[in-house]
Amino acid sequence: MKITFGELYHNNHTLQEYAQQIQLKASKYSHIIPPMTEISSVKALDARICHGMIICECPDCKGAEIVWLKELFFMCSSCFNARVHGKWRKVKIPKNLDLIIATLERRPVHLNRNWDSTETLDDLIKENEIHKDEIF
C-alpha cells in the first residue's frame, strides 16, 4: 500500500501515544480522556479503508481516526466520544482484512483503495476486473 502520512503515523506511534495527543487537545477544553479500560458497551464501530488508510468514522460528528490494528479502540479527536460519555469505543475489522488490503493494493492509484463493511471481497475483486483497463 502506498505510504501516506496517516500510515507513517500509524507505524511509528502506539494508540497510547495517540491518546496522549488527543488528551493535549482535550485539555484545551478541560476535558479528560479516560484510560483505555473505560470502554463503552455500545455496538463496535466498523473500520473502513479510505484512500488506502484503515480508518474508523465517528458516528456522531463524522470525524475519522486511524485504526490501530493491534488495539481496536476509537476515540474521536473532535467530539471525544461525548455521546458515549467520553468512553472509548470498540472497533470491528473483518477476519479477511489482509485479503481486502491485498486486493486493494492491486489498484495503482491509492485514492481508489476504498472499502467499507457493506462490500465483500468478491465485490472488490469484481471492481478490479471491471476497471482493469483503466488507470485504476
Could you list the residues that contact Zn ion (CB under 5 A)?
58, 60-61, 63, 76, 78-79
- To the nearest whole angstrom, how small is the minimum distance from the Cβ of residue 57 to Zn ion? 9
Taking the least distance from each CB to Zn ion, the nearer of 36 and 79 is 79
Report the C-alpha gap between 88 and 90 in whole angstroms: 7
- To the nearest whole angstrom, how small is the minimum distance from the Cβ of residue 59 to Zn ion? 8
- To the nearest whole angstrom, how small is the minimum distance from the Cβ of residue 75 to Zn ion? 9
Taking the least distance from each CB to Zn ion, the nearer of 27 and 120 is 27
Taking the least distance from each CB to Zn ion, the nearer of 39 and 61 is 61
Report the C-alpha gap between 74 and 69 in whole angstroms: 11
Report the C-alpha gap between 107 and 113 in whole angstroms: 7
Which residues contact residue 11 at a Cβ distance below 8 angstroms, ignoring those fewer than 6 apart?
A: none
Taking the least distance from each CB to Zn ion, the nearer of 63 and 94 is 63
